Copies of this chain bind each other. A is one copy, B any other.
Amino acid sequence: MLPIETIAERPCFGGVQGTYRVASQACATPMRFSVFRPPQAEVRRVPVVYCLAGLECNEETFMIKAGAQRYAAEFGLMLVSPDTSPREVRIPGDDESWDFGLGAGFYVDAVQAPWSAHYRMQSFVADELPRVVAANFPGNVDRQSILGHSMGGHGALVCALRYPERYRAVSAFAPIVAPSQVPWGEKAFAKFFGDDKRVWAANDATALAATSVFSGEILIDQGLDDKFLRTQLLPYKFVVACEGTRIAPRLREHAGYDHSYWFIQTFIADHLRCHADRLYRD
Contacts and interface: CB of A to CB of B under 8 A. Distances in A.
Interface in A241-282: 254, 256-258, 260-263, 265-266
Give the top 6 A-B pairs by smallest Cβ distance, nearest first: A12-B262, A11-B256, A67-B67, A10-B262, A13-B266, A11-B257
14 contacts: A10-B257, A10-B260, A10-B263, A11-B223, A11-B256, A11-B258, A11-B262, A11-B266, A12-B263, A14-B266, A64-B64, A64-B261, A67-B70, A67-B265
A237 B126 CA distance: 52
Contacts of A263: 10-12
Interface in A193-243: 223, 225
Interface of A: 10-14, 17, 64-65, 67, 69-70, 223, 225, 254, 256-258, 260-263, 265-266
B13 A258 contact: no
A54 to B, nearest CB: 16
Contacts of A261: 64
A258 B9 CA distance: 10
A263 to B, nearest CB: 7
B17 A262 contact: yes
Contacts of A258: 10-11
A225 B10 CA distance: 10
A257 B265 CA distance: 23
A64 B67 CA distance: 9
A13 B265 contact: yes
A223 B14 CA distance: 12
A92 to B, nearest CB: 34
A257 B13 CA distance: 10
Contacts of A65: 64-65
A256 B64 CA distance: 19
A69 B257 CA distance: 15
A234 to B, nearest CB: 21
A129 B65 CA distance: 26
Nearest to A68: B67
Given A10-B262, A67-B70, 18 more contacts: A10-B257, A10-B258, A10-B260, A11-B223, A11-B225, A11-B254, A11-B256, A11-B258, A11-B263, A12-B263, A12-B265, A12-B266, A13-B266, A14-B266, A17-B262, A69-B262, A69-B265, A70-B265
